[in-house]
């Protein structure tokens, strides 16, 4: 049985880091916002907090747009706007999800299913594989949502931290895989998502599985290519991250990024050389070899 629920999708913001309207950016042939809601059950009512956007009318879910009460107030204020609208319905459960995460709808349904299995929990807060809280990915029963709205006060949490707003609820955590919590704020994150199912990433993942190296060392002439491929390799895997991702380091006109691989290990390191050329889709693996460079 699917619990009666309303999904609140946060779709405001100025996309400053992306440089243009990221929610309209095409991801695998569809606008990012469409991907965010695509994983929701068709029975859900969806409240999108933000400006009306074309194209969403083709979605199988029921959608209505709600203007953000505080357009410059940040994601916490947008969440409160959405929760107020959701509490005007009779839904038993309210899902909160970011509009810039391609798998957000699927992740929201995973939270909803887990909350059904925890009848005494007031809600759930998503955490990623590294344990980092995701305060914009929530499943809330009505009392928890009502509490957040009360705590937001008359200013609707404008300018406040979503993490601090949610913290007093002390919600149980539910871990999601990296793809489920991946959001797209930059072109690099966009490229990484596009690469995650590509031939280059599959080749690297197959070699990791076959040889079990202690690390993957990616080397190439373009920092964005190296970082996008490294992020995509991690996105496509199911290992628990051993360290925060870093940017590729430059030496003599080449960029290097090292990805630690959790044990067990059967080899020291996998070196992957990346050739020049346009990213994202035709990234070419020039060669891969094992063992540390001398």
Domain borders along the chain are: 5-181, 187-290
Could you report the per-residue pLDDT of 82-140, keeping only the tens digit for each? 999 999 999 999 999 999 999 999 999 999 999 999 999 999 999 998 899 999 999 99
Looking at the predicted structure, is the pLDDT value of residue 15 above 60?
yes
Query: Quick one: what percent of the chain has pLDDT higher than 90?
Result: 54
Tokens of 174: 């539910």
C-alpha–C-alpha distance, residues 47 and 39, integer Å: 15
Nearest C-alpha neighbor of 101 from the set 172, 34, 43:
34
**Average pLDDT of the residues of the chain:** 87
C-alpha–C-alpha distance, residues 83 and 162, integer Å: 13
Q: Residue 274: beta bridge partners?
A: 285
C-alpha–C-alpha distance, residues 139 and 176, integer Å: 13
Query: Which pLDDT belongs to residue 129?
Result: 87
Tokens of 241: 């991250």
Query: Which pLDDT belongs to residue 170?
Result: 97
**DSSP per-residue codes, 93-160:** EEEEEETT-TTHHHHHHHHHHHHHT-TT-SEEEEE-TT--EEEEEEEEEHHHHHHHHHHHTTTTTTT-
HSE of 149, CA atoms in CB hemisphere, 13 A? 17
Q: Is residue 276 classed exposed, middle or buried when 0-12, 13-18 and 19+ CB atoms within 10 A define those classes?
A: exposed
Q: Are 43 and 2 in contact (CB under 8 A)?
A: yes
Could you report the per-residue pLDDT of 62-96, keeping only the tens digit for each? 899 999 999 999 999 999 999 999 999 999 999 99
C-alpha–C-alpha distance, residues 79 and 191, integer Å: 28
Structure pTM?
0.87
pLDDT band at 222 (very low <50, low <70, confident <90, very high): confident
Q: What CATH number should be reported for the domain whose range is 5-181?
A: 3.90.550.10
More confident residue, 290 or 89: 89
């Amino acid at each position: 049985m699917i619990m009666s629920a309303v999904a609140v999708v946060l779709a405001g913001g100025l996309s400053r880091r992306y440089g243009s309207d990221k929610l309209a950016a095409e991801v695998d042939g569809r606008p990012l916002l469409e991907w965010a809601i695509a994983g929701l059950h068709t029975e859900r009512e969806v409240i999108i907090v933000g400006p009306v956007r074309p194209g969403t009318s083709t979605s199988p879910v029921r959608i209505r747009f709600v203007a953000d009460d505080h357009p410059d107030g940040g994601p916490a204020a947008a969440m409160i706007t959405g929760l107020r609208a959701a509490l005007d319905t009779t839904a038993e459960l309210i899902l909160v999800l970011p509009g810039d995460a391609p798998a957000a709808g699927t992740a929201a349904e995973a939270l909803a299913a887990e909350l059904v299995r925890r009848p005494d929990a007031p809600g759930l807060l998503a955490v990623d594989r590294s344990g980092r809280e995701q305060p914009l990915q929530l499943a809330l029963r009505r009392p928890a949502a009502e509490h957040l709205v009360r705590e937001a006060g008359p200013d609707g949490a404008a300018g406040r931290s979503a993490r601090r707003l949610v913290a007093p609820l002390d919600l149980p955590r539910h871990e999601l895989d990296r793809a489920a919590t991946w959001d797209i704020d930059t072109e690099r994150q966009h490229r990484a998502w596009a690469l995650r199912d590509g031939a280059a990433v599959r080749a690297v993942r197959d070699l990791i599985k076959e040889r079990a190296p202690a690390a993957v060392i990616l080397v190439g002439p373009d920092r964005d290519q190296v970082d996008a491929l490294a992020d995509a390799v991690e996105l496509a895997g199911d290992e628990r991250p051993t360290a925060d991702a870093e940017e590729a380091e430059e030496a003599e006109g080449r960029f290097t990024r090292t990805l630690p691989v959790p044990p067990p290990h059967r080899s020291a390191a996998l070196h992957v050389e990346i050739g020049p050329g346009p990213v994202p889709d035709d990234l070419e693996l020039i060669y891969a070899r094992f063992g540390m460079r001398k």
